Each structure stands twice: as C-alpha cells, then as structure tokens.
Amino acid sequence: RFRFTYVREFKIAKLKLLQFQPRYLSFQVPIAHFCYSFPEQSIKMKISSLLSLAAFLCLLWAVDRILGVPVASDSKNSTQDTPQSDAFPFRDYNDSSSYLVVDDMVISRDPTRAGMVNAAWPNGIVPFTYAMAVAGNPQQKTMIQQAMAELEAISCIKFRPATRDDTYNIEFKNDPMSQGCSSYVGWQNRKNQPVQLSTMCSKGNAIHEILHALGFFHEQTRDDRDLYVVVNFQNISPGFENNFKKDGELYPDAETSYFDVPYNDSIMHYGKTYFSKNGANTIDVLNNPDAAGNGDNIGQRDFISEGDMVMLRTKYDCPEVPETEPTEAAEGEGENISSTKPTTKNPMCQYQPSLPMCKTK
C-alpha cells in the first residue's frame, strides 16, 4: 500500500513538474527526459526534492531572463556635470566579425542587413515591452514612459505595448552587467530588439537611445562635421578613435541622410570632453554661422533640438506642422514644459516651449 501511494504521488508530481517547465528557458533543460530517465521502481528521490528542483530551475530561468540578452552601452555618463562618455563597456557583441560596436550603437556587419540601420519602423509604430528588471522598477518605467511621450509629442511616432502577435518590438532592458545605455540603430525586424538603460541613465539618455533605435546616428559623425567642429584625435583615449570617425568611414554600406537639417546642438551630439584621455577637449566648436543652435550646448541631454525634431518628422513622413502660436494646452502640458511664453512661431515651440530658442530674452 505504501509503495502504491508513493508511486501515485510521484506520478502526480512528475506531471506538475512537466507542466511547470518555463516557456522561454534559454538553456533548455530537458525536464521531461530527466523525469523519464529513471524507472519508477528505482526512484529514491522524495516528492519534496522534486519540487525543490522545480523551484531551482525556475530561479535559474528568472536569472536568465534578467541577465540574458545583453546589449551595448550608451551612457557617456548620465550625470551632466561629469560627461566622460555616453557609453560604458558592455559584455556582449564582442564578436567583431558579426557586429560593429561604436560607443552606444550596435550595428550588424552582415551586408544583407546594412540597410536596417536606415530602416524606419513601419507606419511609425513602435511596439515595446519591458524586461523583468525594468518592469519591476516603477521609477525607471516612468522615466522611459516620459521619454517616449516627449518623442510622440514632437512627431507622428507612436509607441504601444507589444502583443503576442507582434513579430518585432523593442525591449527596454536593465542588464546589471552593462552599466550604461545602448541600442541597435534602426528597425531590425526582430523580437525584443534591445534598448539597454541602466539605472544611471537619465530621461535624456533614454531619448538618445530611442532615437538610435528609430534610425539616427551621432551628430558629430556627420560627413559635413568638419565645417562645424574640430575633432582633436590627439586627446582621445586609445581604442576609442572609431567613435569619432565620420558616417561614410564607419558605415560605407549604409546610406545616411541628414535631410538638409543644419548641424546643431542635437541630443545625439557628443560633449566636448567625451572619451578624453587627459581632460582636454576632444571636440572644439567652430564659429560657423550656418550652424543651428548654440555650440555651447553640444553634449546636452536636456532637450530634443529643433534639428532632431525636423529629422525625425522628415524620416517618418510626418505631416507638416502649421506655424501657429502654441495653444494653452501645449504651453501647460508635460513635466518639463516651461510656462514662459515663446516669442517665436517656430513649430518646435508648439511642443517644447522650454527650448532656449523659445524663451523670452
């Protein structure tokens, strides 16, 4: 009788264990094989031991989901007072034959995917999801939501939660082994295209990374940059020179376009001392009257520049914005919207009156 009860309970536990197998267990432990590899009459393990094993496997699955799909690193430093670089070393994509990693950008070397860096998200709709570490951090989720809201406010881009039917989406991750911010460039047409944001990344860093995912490169790598800035290669830390090469040198197979937007103080621009080996400037600004914005603002992560807005709207074929004075609602909405009334009819001010160009003198 005891043996009958024991075997019956084992069968029940075995069935529960098979049903308990995590769907996305990346290391694919063959639980079914484990359960059937021993004859029932020789089972010496107790039911409690089997349940403990199941709990342990689930713990491994949870760790795998948190640490699993690693990414690049973008934060040069999220703190504005110590802008060393927008990126920290990251632990994956080290196979230089497969990926080109430039600072916080991850780009496939596969020539058949070269055009993906320019690919816009279909219909301007970006499905998104959160990895476990981000989903469990309300403060970080709120920051990411604010970043997406600001991009939606100045363009026709729409972010929405991903569904099971989506064949592609971005996944906001917080990989503790990648202490920075990073992203692939452009729509990759894949599930869980990673956007890495550590807790050190600010809202401005998040906007910067999302713009990479939307298909934009760094401002200072523009092919016309020598008309506006001087790159001091002698001050760059060894091994980081690639971060300052022009788009044509870095991505010869990709067509980069600036949509006739003047060089500007983009949120995608490096700061003056990024990747400096000695504290001296790696970038100096030239007094070119054709440049837009304030050269002293390069490296800022405080606002989306007018140039950023125009490029985003042009790339995604957004309708033209009428040059009208901002409405009361536009003046008051948003956590960072200034109450200062703009003195210009620049369309950007309709969305972000807090921009320097929109404030009263």
Phi, psi of 319 (to 5 degrees): -60, 150
The two structure tokens encoding residue 39: 């004859």
**Euclidean distance between CA atoms 79 and 10, whole angstroms:** 56
Q: Based on C-alpha coordinates, what's the Rg of the chain?
A: 25
Enumerate residues 6+ apart whose C-beta is below 8 A from 82: none
Residue 269 labelled as part of a binding site: no
The two structure tokens encoding residue 157: 């881009």
| Strand 125-130 versus strand 170-173 pairing type | parallel
**Euclidean distance between CA atoms 136 and 2, whole angstroms:** 46
Residue 212 labelled as part of a binding site: yes
**Euclidean distance between CA atoms 347 and 30, whole angstroms:** 59
Catalytic site includes residue 331 = no
Enumerate residues 6+ apart whose C-beta is below 8 A from 118: 186, 215, 254, 255, 256, 257
**Euclidean distance between CA atoms 152 and 324, whole angstroms:** 19
Neighbour-count burial for 230-261, b at 16+ CB within 10 Å, e otherwise: ebeeebbeeebeebbebbeebbeebebebeeb
Marked catalytic residue, from 209, 219, 306, 331: 209
Find tokens 């484990």 and name the residue: 34
C-alpha to C-alpha distances, 218 to 109, 111, 264, 299, 303, nearest whole angstrom: 18, 21, 11, 10, 15
Enumerate residues 6+ apart whose C-beta is below 8 A from 141: 130, 134, 135
Residue 33 labelled as part of a binding site: no
Find tokens 């980069």 and name the residue: 256
Annotated binding-site positions: 208, 212, 218
Residues recognised as catalytic: 209
Annotated binding-site positions for Zn(2+): 208, 212, 218
